[in-house]
Amino acid sequence: MRIDLHTHSDVSDGTAPPASVVRDAAAAGLDVVALTDHDTTQGWAEAEQAAREVGIDLVRGLEISCTHQGRGLHLLAYLPDPTHPGLRDLLGRIVEGRSGRVPAMLAQLREAGVAIEQADLDREGSRTAATGRPHVADALVRLGVVASRDEAFRDWLDAGRPGFVDRWAASVTEMVQVVGEAGGVTVVAHPWGRGGRSALPEEEIAVLAAAGLAGIEVDHQDHTEADRARLREVAADLDLVVTGSSDHHGTGKVDHDLGCHTTDPEEYERLLARASAASAASGRDTPEVVQPR
């Protein structure tokens, strides 16, 4: 059983529509795929239909942009009730904050000698809940300023670079609690990725576990072997689920092919058990895993 719990479609910053992501996941030999677009559940219905057509299990999720002590942190949320008012409010604020910073980014880039028009971005982000940094990154690639999206972030858009503008994001502790109230479960995404171990020190993982965090994404392309080994120990100490995923973005990110990292079936069962318990405790009508076979 091959399980990939982290993918993006073009409703956020992936390059393929949700139905294609699901079909490609089946074609790649996966048995379970989760669609986890940034801060939106907009792709769920299309993904569900495709999952039923091709006969692959689908976990409806999202990857939420949070902050923790001034740093950005991504939180995967699985199977929450998307109509939960608190969750909806927070997601709305995140999406507004993202779109709201784009004009300021374009102004700063212009100052630094790179002219990108808002119209260029509207074209890139036509299907998405909000235009944001990935769309500016793609425009930089298209203009030939940089060779790849990664380079665009590194040289222009990350904190400390000429195009960086801060924005509002939810506190990760608050988001863990709100997703729980919405009957879903949370897994911290690539915690020691780009920012290294200081992005989320071990003692902070313990704080999140106490707040209700269900798991840690351990097997991810941005983690070194040593970091994975240590995160496994941290997860075992805190009784957290260990996941592995591709963080697939279509052609938007290299080396993130569907199924390049997967989640152990036993860990997946533990995650689903935590989700069932959260759903029951919330008393809400939460989505189930789509199981067409």
Contact residues toward Zn ion (CB under 5 A) are 63, 74, 189, 247
Residues 6+ apart with CB under 8 A from 147: 141
Tell me whether residue 63 or residue 267 sits nearer to Zn ion (CB atom): 63
Q: Give me the least distance between CB of 222 and Zn ion, in Å please.
A: 9
Residue nearest to Zn ion (CB): 74
Q: Which DSSP symbol is given to 249?
A: B
Report the distance separating Cα 154 and Cα 20, nearest Å: 29
Smaller CB distance to Zn ion: residue 114 or 189?
A: 189
120 or 193: CB nearest Zn ion: 193
Identify the helix (H) or strand (E) that includes residue 172.
helix 172-181
Residues 219 and 209: their CA atoms lie apart, in Å, by 19
Q: Nearer Cβ to Zn ion, position 38 or 101?
A: 38
- CB of residue 55 to Zn ion, shortest distance in Å: 25
Task: Map residue 180 onto helix, strand or coil.
Answer: helix
Whichever of 91 and 106 has its CB closer to Zn ion, that residue is 91
Of 252 and 287, which has the nearer Cβ to Zn ion? 252
171-174 LR contacts (CB < 8 Å, sep 24+): 171/66, 171/67, 171/68, 172/66, 172/67, 172/68, 172/73, 172/75, 172/208, 173/68, 173/207, 173/208, 173/211, 174/90
| Least separation in angstroms between CB 283 and Zn ion | 30
Give the angle 142-123-117 at the CA atoms, nearest 5°: 65
Which CB sits closer to Zn ion, 63 or 138?
Answer: 63
232, containing H or E segment = helix 225-238
Please report, for residues 159, 160, 237, 260, the alpha-carbon distance to residue 206 in angstroms, rounded to integers and kept in the order given.
Answer: 27, 29, 9, 28
Beta-sheet pairing, 170-171 with 185-188:
unpaired
C-beta neighbour count of 83 within 10 angstroms:
11
CB of residue 217 to Zn ion, shortest distance in Å:
9
* Smallest distance from Zn ion to CB 140, Å: 20
**Shortest distance in whole angstroms from residue 74 CB to Zn ion:** 4
Residue 63 Cβ, how far from Zn ion at the closest point, in Å? Answer: 5
Q: Distance between CA 37 and CA 7 in Å, rounded?
A: 7
In the complex, the smallest distance separating the C-beta of residue 280 from Zn ion, rounded to whole angstroms, is 28
CB-nearer residue toward Zn ion: 199 or 289:
199
